[in-house]
């Protein structure tokens, strides 16, 4: 992802800000990890849909980035759909 961002001309500070934003969003969901990874994933998907329907597409996109990070770090390959 960093390589792509650099190719399209994003500054290093913009890249760091994007990483920080999805990290902060993700941390809000990780407090529910004691319920299991699948429920947290479902919560994130529901929130993405909710914000998308409200027209908050930028926030929904940030949540999608956080979800990708969550999936890569907490969901086993066999459990992904």
CA nearest neighbour of 71 among 51, 41, 42: 41
Q: Are 26 and 17 in contact, with CB atoms under 8 Å apart?
A: no
List the domain range (segments joined by +) for residue 74: 2-79
Cα-based distances in Å from 47 to 9, 10, 27, 31, 78: 30, 27, 15, 16, 24
Q: For the chain, what is the domain count?
A: 1
Using CA atoms in the order 33, 26, 41, 79, what is the torsion angle rounded to 10 degrees?
A: -80
Residue range 2-50, pLDDT digits in tens: 444 444 454 454 444 446 777 889 989 999 999 999 999 999 999 999 9
pTM: 0.69
Mean pLDDT to the nearest integer, 65-75: 89
Crossing angle of the two packed helices 12-30 and 57-74, in degrees rounded to 10: 70
Predicted confidence at residue 55, as pLDDT, reads: 95
């Amino acid at each position: 992802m960093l390589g792509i961002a650099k190719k399209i001309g994003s500054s290093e500070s913009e890249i760091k800000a994007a990483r920080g934003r999805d990290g902060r969003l993700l941390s809000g969901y990780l407090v529910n990890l004691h319920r299991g990874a699948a429920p947290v994933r479902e919560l994130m998907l529901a929130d993405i849909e909710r914000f998308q329907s409200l027209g908050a597409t930028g926030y929904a996109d940030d949540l999608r980035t956080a979800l990708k990070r969550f999936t890569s770090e907490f969901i086993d390959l066999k459990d992904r759909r």
